[in-house]
Amino acid sequence: MKFLMVCLGNICRSPIAEGIMKSKLAAANIQGKVDSAGVLSYHSGEAPDKRAISVAGKYQVDISGQVARQFRKSDFVDFDFILVMDRSVYAEIAALAQTEDERNKVRLFLEFAGINEITEVPDPYYGGQEGFEMVYNMLNEGCNRILFNLTK
Ligand code: 4NP
């Protein structure tokens, strides 16, 4: 199972998703690869946002060592599931796909998890810590359901 989590900046949502998924795979002794990337290159080379590090750390998920990078076309080859946080990210990434196979790998994270009431993980960048807490909870529930569905 090779997952790439993708958001806009790769400093808030997708690093948290990467950290949660990695820790759940390790806890369940499942082999896999998890990484994250952003649509933008603006924050490339940076650590995750302090608020993201803080909320993940609260749940014993250490994301402080992550380094932001931009999505690249080889990601379509290197990953099985490219899970995007919202529809604008979906549009940007799906537009880079060169085959139907590649485009089919791109899925809205929450829909892929089987959560259909809310389909987008909101960008918490311009809000406060409570937005990060909500995002963490959505991503945690999503990762639980994804692993449940893929391993049942
Ligand atoms: P993310 O949040 O996509 O969850 O990492 C953002 C971080 C930075 C920006 C936008 C969204 N930005 O425009 O700098």
The enclosing domain of 47 has a CATH number of 3.40.50.2300
12 is a catalytic site residue: no
Ligand 1 pocket, Cβ-based, cut-off 6 angstroms? 7-13, 42, 123, 125
Ligand 1 center from residue 107 Cα (angstroms): 19
pLDDT above 90 for 112: yes
Average pLDDT over residues 3-17: 98
Nearest CA to ligand 1 atom 13: 9
- Would you state the pLDDT for residue 36? 99
Q: Model confidence over 13-44: pLDDT tens digits?
A: 999 999 999 999 999 999 999 999 999 999 99
d(CA 142, CA 74): 25
Total tally of structural domains belonging to the chain: 1
- Would you state the pLDDT for residue 69? 98
| Residue 90: domain span | 2-151
- Would you state the pLDDT for residue 14? 98
b/e for 19-54, b at 16 or more Cβ within 10 A?
A: bbbbbbbeeeeeebebbbbbbbeebeeebbbebbbb
- Would you state the pLDDT for residue 118? 96
Query: Both tokens of residue 39?
Result: 């649509």
Distances (CA, A) of 32 to 4, 70, 92: 11, 21, 26
pLDDT above 90 for 152: no
Q: Model confidence over 39-98: pLDDT tens digits?
A: 999 999 999 999 999 999 999 999 999 999 999 999 999 999 999 999 999 999 999 999
pLDDT above 90 for 111: yes
87 is a catalytic site residue: no
- Would you state the pLDDT for residue 50? 98
- Would you state the pLDDT for residue 99? 98
